[in-house]
Structure 1
Amino acid sequence: MFNNLITWLIIYFLLGCSWLAKADLYNATLAYQNTNYQSAFDEFTRLAKLGNADAMYNLGVMYLYGQGVDKSQADAFAWFSLAKDFGISEASQTAQLVLQQSSTPNSLKTFLKSQKVRLNSTYRLGATPSLLNTAQDDTNITKTHNVLPEYPKEAMRQGVEGWVWLEFDVDASGKVTNIDIVDSYPKHIFTASLLNAVEKWRYSGAKNSHTLIYHFTTYKGEQYQATFAIQKKTYEAQLRQNIDAAEQGVAQVQYYIANWLSMKDFNAYQLLRSHWRSENPADDLYVAAAKNGLDLAQYRIANVLLNSHSHKLGTLWLEHAANSMDVAKYRLASILLQKEPHDTKLAQAIELLEQASSQGHLRSILKLVSTHLEISKDLIQARKWLDKGLNLDSTHPHLLLLAAKLAKSSPQAKEFALQSLQEAQQRRWNTHAITQFLKELNHKHN
């Protein structure tokens, strides 16, 4: 059974090759080695702004020799110095050599100061590893009713392990609503089982954007330990390829290995852990993948920090993830809309929500319609996006309540509100907001 687990791991990483199309340190380095300097320079620049020390050092080399960019001793000195600050020890000697060879060393030092100011946000990102290790979840809700998801029989038979990452809201009655599937591995194997269970869960109170990463493991305990040595020898070569890929900067591999290392009961943990002996190898790899530009890792880190006391740093990572993830756009827009946003923040939030809503992200549509209804007072846009939401889910209680609030006549408003109430009761969602709306509607006509 363990053999099949490793087979899944190898097939996904090496044969699926989904990571080859993604921009990261490995692909940027490959472009450089193939003398595709412009592509390499662009990617190293993007990664350097994420706090990637290797990318900073490589930019220093490219500026020093004029590869993909005009030669510049000042830029080379600045990037070597920044790489040193981020932990590349050999960058210190290289920076000093550039400084010694310069006819204007003071101007190089002045330029370095300006670069450090410009990349101030990068320095805050550079503090992520230690903060991740100490971050504490400040959520105040607990699960009051639990139903364990069934392990799919075929996956159990084959020894396939994995995880599903969900994000959802919890209403005032403790019921899970508006579920987002952020990530799953292997795709589609465990998702349905977890969704069936989560819909039956109850929590102690309400919360928006609650994150759950549920691990499915077939850990065999003593039976596994008895065959550990044989399995390790058999699969050492294949695992070595994945380990090498992670160390070379393949962000997707770093992220998946981090997930395996985050759960000690995974069978794969026993083999992978021997290669990463630091105190928190999973955190280290999540950060590495994030600094290599992987949105999933960036969003994972943002969640950890946003649920602790590191909101400013968490928001920075969230901004990066929002470049490509609809759920991150939704979360960032929600932050921008807090505490009576001024016009600039409101415009930014609406733009983010529109981008995600246009891709069919239901939570973004709900937030966008509510924002236009309650804050921007743009009822035309509110109705436009409401129609899109109802096309996705015509029985969604929250959408139907919004339809009632946007109705052009009282009879129509009452009809939508009653539909909303019926659907909420069937789903066992909290109905307080709906009944309150109906009371106010009836009061107006009495």
Structure 2
Amino acid sequence: MLSATLDYNDGNYSEAFAEFSRLAKLGNEDAIFNVGVMFLHGQGVEQDLAQANAWFRLAADFGLDEARDAAQLIAAQTEHSTLEQAYQALQKSISFRQFEQTLQPIFSAEKFTEKNTEPPLRIHTVDAKYPQSAYEKGIEGWVWLEFDVDASGAVKDVDIIDAFPDKTFNRAIYNAVRRWRYEPYRVDGVAQNYSSRSLLYHFTTFKGKRYKASFASQKKQYQRKISELIESAEQGNALVQYYIANWLNADEHNATKLLRYHWQQDTASSDLLLKSAINGYPNSQYRLGTNLLRGEFTQTDRKKGLNWILNAAQSGFVYAQYRLGRELLDKRFVEYDQDKAKRWLTMAANQGHFRAQRDLIDVLIENEEFVQAVNYLTLALEHDAQHPDLWFSQSKMAIKRGDKALASDAINKAIKYAKEREWHLAKLQAYQQQHKL
């Protein structure tokens, strides 16, 4: 929204019109209003009062009173049937009802609103060690990560999606999370892998006297910066809205305490995340989508969740591309589509995303596309040469190609490496027995 507004103010009307139009499809009421303004004045598009009226009426549907006034001014000097026809035509592609049904979340202050959306219960935790240099300087931050949990409850394949400050806390939380254990996730009594556990982990200097001293010395500096951030967020800066949403997700940060003076409502973090997503920021779109899938701070809604993830994926956000492919492979849901899943996994795999390469290999093996499977297997093994899943995939491919010696060697390596990592063995051992390897 901010970049679109800057383009408009600089007279780059064609670029601004394209950006506003894209944001309008996400339900951004200010962008919808601005499209109306550009139709009204013929900026970046041919002047059309009927279209201007239609877009103003649409913005009014989203709650903008000034848009309703603008639509009424046009209606007073234009034939009603022409205006109504344009408005009805617009409703077929963009409408508030459509936004409510496909994108608008219903937020809750509770973290998990439905029992069946809860992730596995963590039963063993290793605390992340606060980096000494960051602690002594009073630096606070967060790390957003995703990982899978295997059927034994072991954490596997950790992804650092984003962090603030960048790289300050990444290694600390990465080393800790890899040693966590979860209660095995079961479906109909059978232990299953749990894909894409998402976590926003905060580091805070809230430590008694040291915290009070650091807060007192930094308070004026914080307040000046916070005021600038608030103004930037209110102007539609999606990146700032996203960062503030992440800060508001914690309780004990110095910055959080000052931000809460301005954003006091229980759902403030989610509200800002939605604004950032509507303003077109892929990180926010993806996080909002994952929240909707899992029921975190919002009512669970798979359709809306996938729609937000799709928007992020279409922007090239690799984690969204992987997640969309992963979700489309889940046979429990009507969206199951292996061909679409394969396309999204391929996009992510080609950007070097390890989990996408890992899962794509199995899809390619199932479809007997062995040359491509070997290519991605080679890339994935360069990332982790002792990954049990990769050697299991190697064994499955060897069986399909009639090479039992290679299959035996690969499954033995898979079991060996899984034992070393304390990962689930039953599936590997059952496969070994089934094929007499």
TM-score, normalised via structure 1 length: 0.87
2:188 is matched with which residue?
A: none
How many residue pairs get aligned? The number is 416
- Distance in 1 (CA, whole Å) between partners of 2:361 and 2:214 is 57
Local SS of the residue matching 1:101: coil
Aligned partner of 2:176 in structure 1 is 197
Partner of residue 43 from structure 1, selected from 19, 23, 35:
19
Once the two structures are TM-superposed, the CA of residue 331 in structure 1 deviates from its matched residue by: 1.3
Aligned to 1:349: 341
Question: In the TM superposition, what is the alpha-carbon distance from 1:220 to its structure 2 partner?
Answer: 4.5
Cα deviation for residue 330 of structure 1 reads 1.5
CA shift, 1:39, in A, is 1.1
**Closer, same or farther: CA 340–312 of 1 in aligned 2, 3 Å:** closer
Which of 237, 255, 266 is residue 242 of structure 2 equivalent to? 255
Give 1:222 shift.
Answer: 7.0
Please state if 1:136 is matched with 2:113.
yes
The aligned residue for residue 170 of structure 1 is 149
Gaps of 5+ in 1: 1-24
Q: Secondary structure at the match of 1:141?
A: coil
**CA–CA distance in 2 between the matches of 1:239 and 1:66?**
39
140 and 269 in structure 1: CA distance in 2 versus 1, 3 angstrom threshold: closer
Secondary structure of 1:118's counterpart equals coil
Is 1:99 the counterpart of 2:75? The answer is: yes
Aligned to 1:73: 49
2:427 and 2:230 map into 1 onto residues whose CA distance is 52
Match of 2:137 in 1: 158
Deviations 1:378-424 (A, max 9, x none): 33332332222223322211011101111241111111111111111
1:90 deviates by 1.3
Aligned to 1:179: 158
Q: 1:310 aligns with which of 276, 287, 301?
A: 301
Q: Hey, what does 1:20 align to over in structure 2?
A: none
Post-superposition CA distance 1:174-224 (Å, at most 9, x none)? 000121111111111111111111111110113111111111111245775
Aligned twin of 2:83: 108
Contact persistence 2:143–2:202 (CA under 8 A): yes
Superposition map of 1:107-126 within 5 A: 107-119=82-94, 121-124=98-101
How far does the alpha carbon of each residue in 1:4-28 deviate from its partner, in whole angstroms, 9 at most, with x for none?
xxxxxxxxxxxxxxxxxxxxx1111
Judged with a 3 Å threshold, the aligned counterparts in structure 2 of structure 1 residues 35 and 423 are, in CA distance, closer, same or farther, namely same
Tell me the distance in 2 between the aligned counterparts of 1:165 and 1:343: 27
Which amino acid in the other structure matches residue 322 of structure 1? A
For the pair 1:362 / 2:354, whether they are aligned, the reply is yes
Distance 1:386 1:116, change over 3 A: same
**Counterpart Cα distance in 2 of 1:83 and 1:133:** 28
- Secondary structure in 2 matching 1:43: helix
Matched AA of 2:101: R
Q: Out of 383, 389, 396, which is 2:374 matched to?
A: 383
Letter in 2 for 1:434: L
Whole-angstrom CA distance in 2 between matches of 1:213 and 1:330: 19
CA contact (8 A) 1:149 1:196 kept: yes
Alpha-carbon spacing, 1:281–1:70, altered in 2? closer, same or farther (3 Å): same
Q: Residue 195 of structure 2: which of 185, 203, 208 is its match?
A: 208
Q: 1:240 deviation in Å?
A: 1.8
Tell me the distance in 1 between the aligned counterparts of 2:210 and 2:165: 24
**Quick one: distance in 1 between partners of 2:269 and 2:213?**
26
- Alpha carbons of 1:224 and 1:181: their partners in 2 closer, same or farther (altered >3 Å)? closer
- Taking the aligned partners of 1:95 and 1:125, their CA distance within structure 2 comes to 26
Residue in 1 that maps onto 2:189: none
User: Which one of the candidate residues 232, 236, 243 is aligned to 2:223?
Assistant: 236
Between the aligned partners of 2:406 and 2:91, the Cα distance in structure 1 is 59
State the superposition RMSD in angstroms. Answer: 2.3
2:321 — aligned with what?
329
Shift of 1:70: 0.8
Which moved further from structure 2: 32-41 or 133-142? 133-142
Q: Which amino acid in the other structure matches residue 368 of structure 1?
A: L
Alpha-carbon spacing, 1:140–1:306, altered in 2? closer, same or farther (3 Å): same
Residue 396 of structure 1 corresponds to 387
Equivalent residue in structure 1 for 2:427, among 422, 433, 437:
433
Overall identity of the aligned pairs, in %: 39
Once the two structures are TM-superposed, the CA of residue 97 in structure 1 deviates from its matched residue by 1.3
Q: Give the Cα–Cα distance (whole angstroms) in 2 for the partners of residues 421 and 401 of structure 1.
A: 8
Work out whether 1:278 is the aligned partner of 2:265.
yes
How far did residue 57 of structure 1 move? 0.7
CA distance in 1, matches of 2:429, 2:211: 55
> 8 Å contact 1:360–1:392 — kept in the other structure?
no
1:149 aligns with 2:128: yes
Give the drift of 1:342: 9.9
CA deviations 1:314-364 (Å, max 9, x no partner) are 111010111222221111112222328999933221111111111111111
TM value normalised by structure 2:
0.89
Instruction: Give the counterpart letter for 1:243 in structure 2.
Output: I
Give 3-state SS (helix, strand or coil) of 1:75's partner: helix
